[in-house]
Chains A and B, each alone.
Chain A
Amino acid sequence: GQQVMQIPQYQHVQEGEDFTTYCNSSTTLSNIQWYKQRPGGHPVFLIQLVKSGEVKKQKRLTFQFGEAKKNSSLHITATQTTDVGTYFCAGDSGYALNFGKGTSLLVTP
């Protein structure tokens, strides 16, 4: 079955540093979604990418979808303490929505 892998598992940065998490699928995806989960909370939708090579920005967050529609990345510029949480990608194989294991971001002031 489809597998979605994310790296790194953890990232600890100083406030103001950049952060990137990478997502790879074992199969070509229809679309990819990104979610953020705060400690003790539930996943909250951030964005969906559909087109090959698509790039979307939300303030300091930049999301990319690979040309082959099998990989994606999330980049945060100048992290803030409010960015703390776990970032998940979720790959849509065309029928099921499968999540990666996530990257936990810790930001030190």
Chain B
Amino acid sequence: EAGVAQSPRYKIIEKRQSVAFWCNPISGHATLYWYQQILGQGPKLLIQFQNNGVVDDSQLPKDRFSAERLKGVDSTLKIQPAKLEDSAVYLCASSPRDRNTEAFFGQGTRLTVV
């Protein structure tokens, strides 16, 4: 079974630029999560989808971050404009059912904002 795929693996951008991350969850998984993990900290939930609907986005900085899950499968997370404090690893995860069970994580995208 293929795992959660994320791209790119690494990205370096200047502040005020925009960036997008892509996630392809495990086939058939209903729940998709985007987490932000700053070095030395725990993953912070940015947004959680159930199929193509948003379950929780209370910690998503909506003035600069946006996310969508097309047709309940792939998802993209966008930052526009980026700030220095956005430097982090962005982790995508998926769960097989429409409730929180085992989450499978992708390798993440390491973003550096300079």
Contacts and interface: CB of A to CB of B under 8 A. Distances in A.
A73 interface: no
Contacts, number: 56
Interface stretch (B21-29, B39-47, B61-69): B39-47
A105 B59 CA distance: 28
A88 B103 contact: no
B105 A44 contact: yes
B103 to A, nearest CB: 6
Chain A interface main SS type: strand
Contacts of A33: 100, 102-103
B45 A98 contact: yes
A99 B42 CA distance: 6
B45 A96 contact: yes
A45 B100 contact: no
Contact of A92 (B43, B100, B105): B100
Contacts of B45: 96-99
A37 B36 CA distance: 14
Given A43-B43, A45-B104, A48-B101, 11 more contacts: A1-B58, A30-B99, A35-B103, A42-B105, A43-B91, A88-B42, A97-B45, A97-B100, A97-B103, A99-B44, A99-B45
